[in-house]
């Protein structure tokens, strides 16, 4: 993974000093609340229900075991013994005190970490494929490009006060695992006919209160020009994006208002000036960064380890975990392991200090000392030998990190919601846990198969409910908490926005509602059809009838 | 006298920023003595008379475009860009465009809600004059605030103050 040189280190050290001084001036009354807010946000610091919340950047989801131990230490000393993994691959601490935040940042800087631009109206942490470098369907490793873009976007002076936040994601494989269609800029690495590397560029995607799927603005920007191209997009956005209404300030609104053709015209007109300028990437720089992402020293192994085969045959619990949480690796004899953070007894995505330490130990012992975070709020050990899987499983299981439900209904994405978040309409964690409890029978869960269930506590959509096969959204009705259900959303190559099925439900009804939806699927599915495929084939009506009874159809006919 | 940060030093500055209220039409020209920044509308209404007046500058609000001054730059010594709120970042692009695309060599001044925690970005985008609102900083705090111009010693990306990105300036080893 990328290691800082003296320049990178200096920038984060200077940031710590800068923020320490800003905090001092704020506490001394030299900076007003309004003046301090954007400064702390650009350092990932929100003021929430109970305390400030600190969001720490995990660039493109990559961590060393040393960094993970530092996060564990912070959770232990400055928080209540746990942290949360976000849908943009970052870490969040829910309870740090404002005056110790500079200390936390200093501790992070010692392990080449920071909280720069994890919030605020600026270019945010760039996210990517958690299986980068090990997936069989990868064309081009996105990590060096993410790092190049990270450096370019860090303290970009022109784009520190955009109309609104700006999120970018990069994917380099056949399957999109970085949700590039729902980002302000989504980049897909590809090769042109001559074999040259470049990017397909999508723009104007986003979730939030107006979910929009990004549109293609260029089908190929050669790699040398990606920074100047992004700068052109950002300059047009910075100059012309709306600033009069917070809800209409994302780039997606500008792109919709102008139309993609006109937006593209403006960007290309702007690009003429920057293209071939100093920000044009050089082969030397790309090579320097890419040298940090070479493959680890794999040993030559047979494709199917015999002990692994035997252990699965002998131990059904291990076999179940291996079936769900162990994924194919491009190198024979190796596997990708998902360490699940979806233990029904915990909030989805939460991890304790002890679990973090254990994950770091596992990474050191079995996976070249590296760990990844996923936007589905799990951890990944990317390079485990098949012959080590049993040992990894035993240790992970003892620590509550081996819930064998990766990709299933219980592996839900869930925002912190009303338990932590000041913007929430409703709690989301208890809903997630109630549904997990309802579906705890593994045979039942396996029979239902691949299913993405996403929960957000309000329209801001931190929990990606729009792109869940089943989406749950917390809504406020006369001061009480209700939940709206949508179906048919999906992320990845066929990104789609789910449609609401009808009136919302009280919290206590939610497990039954999900059961009814699943019953419809099980009754209607054909062959090996996955849930989302059935929804796409039969539409929403059968599900509405399943949930609301025939009344749903009568009501619709009356409205027709 | 009002203070101004010019090329990294605090100096006295007597320039007046002319603000029209609703009752004043840009066509009625009534300028104070001495250096003054007039609103874009006043400049556009009186270019002929005002061109070449010593100490004349034009100021733009954040929704106004520097492109509208492109053909006038030879007659202007200074341009001020207003930050109605410090979170309105349009003037960063405006300053960068004036320096790079339009090659403006005169003063570019940041006015309005100008705070020390943005000095560094302003300087990087081509502002050589920075003027916090009168009364926002005491003389002592303004002197302290100069430190913010040095927040980062080696930024990554190319900008106006440093036209080469780090990867071209430094021999970085993998
Ligand atoms: C607890 C404090 C949080 C606050 C105050 C907060 C605030 C917001 C707001 C206001 C938006 C809407 C932005 C817009 O539509 O322009 C948003 C979107 C989002 N947030 Fe959060 N959030 C919080 C926590 C989280 C967490 C914990 C995650 C990950 C689990 C997260 C991930 C996201 C994502 C992925 C989006 C959607 C991005 C998009 O609109 O394209 N946020 N957040
Ligand atoms: S979706 Fe709403 S409730 Fe959930 S974290 Fe985001 S802002 Fe808070």
Say what the ipTM of the complex is: 0.97
CA distance A147 to A287: 12
Q: Which residues of A touch B158 (CB under 8 A)?
A: 277-279
Which residues are A486's β-sheet partners? A471, A500
Which of A50, A92, A350, A415 has most ligand 2 atoms within 8 Å of CB, for mutation?
A415
Per 3-state DSSP, chain B is made up of helix, strand and coil in percentages (nearest 5) of: 35, 20, 50
**Centroid of ligand 2 to alpha carbon of A458 (angstroms):** 5
> Which residues 98-127 of A have a C-beta within 8 angstroms of B?
121
Judged by CB atoms closer than 8 Å, whether chains meet at A158 and B88 is answered as no
Tell me, what CATH number does A361's domain have?
Answer: 3.90.480.20
DSSP state of B101: T
A498 CA: distance to closest CA in chain B (Å)? 34
End position of a domain, from candidates A244, A265, A291: A291
Q: Which residues contact A347 (CB under 8 A, 6 or more apart)?
A: A84, A414, A416, A419, A429, A432, A433
Q: Which residues of B touch A109 (CB under 8 A)?
A: none
Judged by CB atoms closer than 8 Å, whether chains meet at B158 and A11 is answered as no
Token pair 């047009």 is at which residue?
A236
Cβ of residue A164 closer than 8 Å to a chain B Cβ: no
Predicted confidence at residue B33, as pLDDT, reads 85
For chain B, domain boundaries: 3-169
Q: Which residues contact A452 (CB under 8 A, 6 or more apart)?
A: A407, A411, A412, A413, A467, A468, A469, A470, A490, A491, A532
Quick one: A231 and A356 in the same domain?
A: no
pLDDT band at B173 (very low <50, low <70, confident <90, very high): confident
Q: Which residues contact A319 (CB under 8 A, 6 or more apart)?
A: A312, A313
Judged by CB atoms closer than 8 Å, whether chains meet at A121 and B118 is answered as no
Ligand 2 site residues (CB inside 6 A) read A 415-417, 421, 423-424, 456-458, 460-463
Predicted confidence at residue B21, as pLDDT, reads 82
**Centroid of ligand 2 to alpha carbon of A376 (angstroms):** 16
Quick one: A185 and A141 in the same domain?
A: yes
Q: Is-contact A360 A322, C-beta < 8 A?
A: no
Asked, for residue A121, whether it belongs to a domain, the answer is no
Predicted confidence at residue A554, as pLDDT, reads 64
DSSP state of A6: H
pLDDT band at B52 (very low <50, low <70, confident <90, very high): confident
Quick one: A439 and A379 in the same domain?
A: no
Q: Is A432 exposed, middle or buried (0-12, 13-18, 19+ CB in 10 A)?
A: buried
Q: At what angle do helices A65-78 and A101-110 cross, to 10 degrees?
A: 160
Asked, for residue A448, whether it belongs to a domain, the answer is yes
Work out whether the CA dihedral A423, A466, A220, A130 comes out positive or negative.
positive
Predicted confidence at residue B100, as pLDDT, reads 96
Asked, for residue A296, whether it belongs to a domain, the answer is no
**Centroid of ligand 2 to alpha carbon of A503 (angstroms):** 21
pLDDT band at B119 (very low <50, low <70, confident <90, very high): very high
Judged by CB atoms closer than 8 Å, whether chains meet at B156 and A160 is answered as no
CA distance A112 to A107: 9
Quick one: A516 and A475 in the same domain?
A: yes
Nearest CA in chain A to B161: A157
> Per-residue b/e over B112-135, b at no fewer than 16 CB within 10 Å?
bbbbbbbbbbbbbbbbbbbbbeee
Quick one: A427 and A546 in the same domain?
A: yes
Q: Is-contact B4 B146, C-beta < 8 A?
A: no
Domain count across chain A: 4
Asked, for residue A116, whether it belongs to a domain, the answer is no
Helix (H) or strand (E) holding A380: strand A379-385
Judged by CB atoms closer than 8 Å, whether chains meet at B152 and A159 is answered as no
Q: Is-contact A346 A338, C-beta < 8 A?
A: no
Asked, for residue A403, whether it belongs to a domain, the answer is no
The DSSP line for A199-215 is EEEEES-B-TTS-B--E
DSSP state of B32: P
Judged by CB atoms closer than 8 Å, whether chains meet at A162 and B89 is answered as yes
Kindly state if the Cβ of A182 falls inside 6 Å of ligand 1.
Answer: yes
CA dihedral A391, A395, A396, A402 (to 10 degrees): 70
Asked, for residue A405, whether it belongs to a domain, the answer is no
Q: What are the C-alpha distances in Å from B30 to residues A469, B18, B38, B42, B44?
A: 66, 10, 10, 10, 15
Predicted confidence at residue A48, as pLDDT, reads 67
Q: Which residues of B touch A282 (CB under 8 A)?
A: 167-168
Kindly state if the Cβ of A420 falls inside 6 Å of ligand 1.
Answer: yes
Helix (H) or strand (E) holding A393: helix A389-398
DSSP state of B37: E
Cβ of residue A152 closer than 8 Å to a chain B Cβ: yes
DSSP state of B67: G
Q: Which ligand is nearest to the CA of A420?
A: 1
End position of a domain, from candidates A242, A262, A291: A291
Closest CA to A356 of A2, A58, A144: A58
Tell me, what CATH number does A249's domain have?
Answer: 3.30.413.10
Residue A213 in tokens: 């799927």
Quick one: A281 and A137 in the same domain?
A: yes
Residue A150 in tokens: 């990270």
Q: Which residues of A touch B165 (CB under 8 A)?
A: 152, 278-279
DSSP state of A117: T
CA distance A188 to A194: 17
**Chain B interface, Cβ < 8 Å to A:** 65, 86-90, 92-94, 96, 100-101, 115, 117-118, 120-122, 124-125, 141, 151-159, 163-168, 170, 172-174
End-to-end CA distance of chain B: 52
Q: What is the CA radius of gyration of chain B?
A: 17
pTM of the predicted structure, to 2 decimals: 0.95
Token pair 């945010």 is at which residue?
A124
Closest CA to A417 of A481, A355, A353: A481
Judged by CB atoms closer than 8 Å, whether chains meet at A155 and B170 is answered as no
Quick one: A392 and A483 in the same domain?
A: no
End position of a domain, from candidates A54, A82, A110: A110
Quick one: A429 and A467 in the same domain?
A: yes
Cβ of residue A166 closer than 8 Å to a chain B Cβ: no
Q: Is-contact A354 A419, C-beta < 8 A?
A: no
Q: What is the pairing mode between strands B107-112 and A185-191? A: unpaired
A341 CA: distance to closest CA in chain B (Å)? 34
Q: Which of A24, A157, A160 to mutate to test the interface with B (most CBs of B within 10 A)?
A: A157
Percent of chain B whose predicted confidence (pLDDT) is above 70: 99
Helix, strand or coil, per DSSP, at residue A371: strand
Helix, strand or coil, per DSSP, at residue A455: strand
Q: Is-contact B148 A35, C-beta < 8 A?
A: no
Q: Which residues contact A36 (CB under 8 A, 6 or more apart)?
A: A22, A26
Token pair 């691959």 is at which residue?
A89
A484-490, Cβ contacts within 8 angstroms, sequence gap of 24 or more? A485/A513, A485/A517, A485/A547, A487/A517, A487/A535, A487/A540, A487/A543, A488/A532, A488/A535, A488/A536, A488/A540, A489/A454, A489/A465, A490/A452, A490/A532
Query: What CATH architecture applies to the domain B3-169?
Result: Alpha-Beta Barrel (3.20)
**Centroid of ligand 2 to alpha carbon of A381 (angstroms):** 28
Token pair 């190929």 is at which residue?
A220
A538 CA: distance to closest CA in chain B (Å)? 48
Quick one: A146 and A23 in the same domain?
A: no
Q: Is-contact A57 A120, C-beta < 8 A?
A: no
Quick one: A139 and A266 in the same domain?
A: yes
**Centroid of ligand 1 to alpha carbon of A351 (angstroms):** 19
Judged by CB atoms closer than 8 Å, whether chains meet at B125 and A35 is answered as no
Helix, strand or coil, per DSSP, at residue A484: strand
Q: Count H helices and E strands in chain A, helices first.
A: 19, 21
Predicted confidence at residue B29, as pLDDT, reads 74
* pLDDT per residue rounded down to tens, chain A (560 residues): 999 999 999 999 999 999 999 999 999 999 999 999 999 999 999 876 667 899 999 999 999 999 999 999 999 999 999 999 999 999 999 888 888 999 999 999 999 999 999 999 999 999 999 999 999 999 999 999 999 999 999 999 999 999 999 999 999 999 999 999 999 999 999 999 999 999 999 999 999 989 999 999 999 999 999 999 999 999 999 999 999 999 999 999 999 999 999 999 999 999 999 999 999 999 999 999 999 999 999 999 998 999 999 999 999 999 999 999 999 999 999 999 999 999 999 999 999 999 999 999 999 999 999 999 999 999 999 999 999 999 999 999 999 999 999 999 999 999 999 998 889 999 999 999 999 999 999 999 999 999 999 999 999 999 999 999 999 999 999 889 999 999 999 999 999 999 999 999 999 999 999 999 999 999 999 999 999 999 999 999 999 999 999 776 666 666 55
Residue A251: domain span = 127-291
Quick one: A343 and A483 in the same domain?
A: no
Q: Is-contact B120 B162, C-beta < 8 A?
A: no
CA distance A113 to A132: 20
Q: Which residues of B touch A161 (CB under 8 A)?
A: 86-89, 92, 118
Q: What is the pairing mode between strands A470-477 and A453-456? A: parallel
Judged by CB atoms closer than 8 Å, whether chains meet at A239 and B125 is answered as no
Helix, strand or coil, per DSSP, at residue A486: strand
Quick one: A264 and A131 in the same domain?
A: yes
DSSP strand E in A142-191: where? 168-171, 185-191
Q: Which ligand is nearest to the CA of A413?
A: 1
């Amino acid at each position: 993974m990328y290691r800082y040189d003296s320049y990178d280190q200096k920038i984060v050290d200077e940031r710590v000093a800068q923020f320490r001084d800003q905090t001092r001036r704020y506490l001394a009354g030299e900076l007003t609340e309004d003046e301090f807010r954007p400064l702390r946000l650009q350092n990932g610091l929100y003021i929430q229900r109970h305390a400030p919340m600190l969001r720490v950047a995990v660039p493109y989801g990559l961590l060393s075991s040393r960094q993970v131990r530092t996060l564990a230490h912070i959770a232990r000393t400055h928080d209540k013994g746990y942290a949360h993994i976000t849908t943009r691959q970052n870490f969040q601490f829910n309870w740090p005190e404002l005056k110790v935040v500079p200390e936390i940042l200093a501790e992070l800087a010692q392990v080449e970490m920071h909280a720069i631009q994890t919030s605020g109206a600026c270019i945010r942490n760039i996210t990517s494929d958690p299986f980068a470098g090990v997936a069989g369907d990868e064309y081009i490793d996105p990590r060096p490009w993410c790092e190049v873009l990270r450096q370019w976007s860090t303290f970009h002076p022109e784009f520190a006060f955009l109309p609104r936040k700006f999120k970018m994601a990069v994917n380099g494989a056949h399957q999109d695992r970085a949700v590039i269609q729902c980002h302000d800029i989504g980049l897909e690495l590809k090769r042109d006919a001559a074999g040259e590397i470049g990017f397909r560029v999508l723009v104007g995607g986003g979730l939030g209160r107006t979910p929009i799927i990004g549109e293609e603005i260029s089908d190929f920007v050669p790699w040398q020009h990606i920074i100047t191209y992004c700068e052109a997009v950002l300059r047009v956005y910075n100059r012309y994006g709306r600033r009069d209404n917070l809800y209409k300030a994302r780039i997606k609104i500008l792109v919709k208002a102008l139309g993609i053709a006109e937006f593209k015209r403006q960007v290309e007109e702007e690009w003429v000036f920057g293209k071939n300028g100093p920000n044009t990437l050089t082969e030397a720089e790309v090579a320097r960064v890419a040298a940090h992402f070479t493959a680890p020293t794999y040993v030559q192994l047979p494709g199917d380890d015999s002990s692994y085969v035997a252990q699965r045959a002998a131990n059904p619990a291990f076999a179940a975990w291996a079936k769900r949480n162990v994924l194919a690796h491009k190198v024979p004899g190796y596997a990708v392991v998902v360490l699940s953070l979806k233990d029904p007894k915990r909030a989805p995505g939460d991890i304790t200090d002890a679990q973090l330490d254990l994950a770091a130990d596992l990474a050191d012992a079995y996976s070249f000392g590296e760990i990844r975070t996923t936007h589905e709020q799990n951890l990944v050990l990317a390079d485990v030998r098949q012959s080590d899987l049993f040992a990894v499983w035993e240790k992970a299981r003892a620590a509550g990190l081996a819930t064998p439900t990766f990709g299933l209904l219980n592996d839900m994405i869930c925002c912190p919601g009303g338990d932590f978040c000041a913007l929430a309409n409703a709690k989301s964690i208890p809903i997630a846990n109630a549904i997990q409890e309802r579906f705890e029978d593994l045979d039942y869960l396996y029979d239902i198969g691949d299913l993405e269930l996403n929960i957000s506590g309000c329209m801001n959509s931190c929990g990606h409910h729009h792109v869940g096969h089943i989406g749950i959204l917390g809504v406020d009705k006369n001061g009480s908490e209700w939940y709206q259900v949508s179906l048919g959303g999906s992320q990845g190559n066929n990104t789609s926005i789910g449609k609401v099925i009808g009136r919302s439900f009280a919290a206590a009804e939610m497990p039954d509602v999900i059961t009814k939806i699943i019953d419809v699927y099980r009754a209607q599915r054909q062959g090996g059809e996955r849930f989302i495929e059935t929804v796409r084939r039969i539409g929403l009506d059968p599900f509405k009838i399943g949930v609301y009874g025939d009344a749903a159809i009568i009501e619709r006919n009356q409205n027709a | 006298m009002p203070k101004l940060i010019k090329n990294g030093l605090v100096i006295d500055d007597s320039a007046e920023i002319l603000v029209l209220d609703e009752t004043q039409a840009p066509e009625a020209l009534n300028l104070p003595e001495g250096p003054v920044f007039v609103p874009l509308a006043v400049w556009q209404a009186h270019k002929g008379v005002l061109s070449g007046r010593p100490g004349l500058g034009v100021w733009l609000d954040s929704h106004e475009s520097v492109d509208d001054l492109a053909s006038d730059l030879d007659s202007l010594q200074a341009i001020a860009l207003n930050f109605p709120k410090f979170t309105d970042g349009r003037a960063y692009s405006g300053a960068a465009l004036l320096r790079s695309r339009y090659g403006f060599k005169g003063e570019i001044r940041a006015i309005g809600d100008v705070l020390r925690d943005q000095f560094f970005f302003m300087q990087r985008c081509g502002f050589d004059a920075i003027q916090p609102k009168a009364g926002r900083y005491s003389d002592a705090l303004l002197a302290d605030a100069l430190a913010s111009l040095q927040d980062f010693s080696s930024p990554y990306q190319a900008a106006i103050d440093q036209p080469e990105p780090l990867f071209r300036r430094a021999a970085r080893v993998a």
